[in-house]
């Protein structure tokens, strides 16, 4: 929630950046929605943005990160889902919004199916005031999942899909799965 500070009797909003990250099936979007609902309950103006790749939650699809600055200009709290798919400009957009006193809540995959940092997420994690790492459960052993393991062929970093294409795995099961493919 954006803090309200008093500056000589004047209320001033203090912005912040919160990042929710983890593998697929870990509840990132659910946590984003939970925080946005709490802000709505507090009568704050909220808006959720997502890359223009289909909507699983009620959100405003945008083609670039810069659109968020314009479309979210009247918001107290801005949610950004699937941040890993945004252009690198999303980092500066989040910084600018926070400077304007907006609470920015960002959700996204921190690593791709190969275990590599994903898109602008490492930079967003670095500038965040608060980071929450959520975990799915490994479908093979029940431990906390580390990665969204791709179970279909393909070497593109981005392959849209979910249950049929990916499975959450812990680090140990992921290493075993990589050896099984060889």
CA angle in degrees (0–180, nearest 5) for 182-154-63: 145
**Are 137 and 146 contacting, i.e. CB atoms less than 8 angstroms apart?**
no
Work out the burial of residue 137: count CB atoms within 10 Å of its CB; fewer than 13 is exposed, 13-18 middle, 19 or more buried. Answer: middle
Distance between alpha carbon 27 and the CA centroid of its chain, in Å? 10
**Are 101 and 15 contacting, i.e. CB atoms less than 8 angstroms apart?**
yes
Residues marked as catalytic: 82
Q: Give the end-to-end CA distance of the chain in Å, rounded to a whole number.
A: 48
């Amino acid at each position: 929630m954006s803090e309200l500070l008093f500056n000589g009797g004047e209320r001033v909003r203090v912005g912040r950046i919160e990042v929710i990250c983890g593998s697929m099936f870990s509840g990132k979007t659910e946590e984003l929605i939970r925080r946005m609902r709490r802000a709505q309950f507090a009568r704050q103006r909220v808006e959720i943005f997502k890359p223009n790749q289909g909507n699983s939650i009620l959100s405003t699809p945008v083609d670039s990160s810069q659109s968020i600055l314009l479309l979210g200009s009247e918001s107290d709290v801005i949610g950004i889902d699937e941040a890993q798919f945004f252009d690198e400009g999303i980092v500066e957009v989040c910084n600018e919004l926070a400077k304007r006193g907006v609470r920015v809540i960002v959700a996204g995959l921190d690593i791709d199916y190969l275990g590599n940092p994903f898109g602008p997420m490492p930079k967003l994690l670095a500038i965040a005031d608060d980071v929450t790492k959520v975990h799915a459960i490994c479908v093979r052993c029940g431990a906390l999942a580390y990665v969204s393991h791709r179970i279909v062929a393909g070497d593109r970093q981005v392959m849209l899909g979910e249950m049929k294409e990916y499975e959450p795995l812990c680090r140990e099961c992921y290493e075993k799965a990589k050896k099984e493919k060889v």
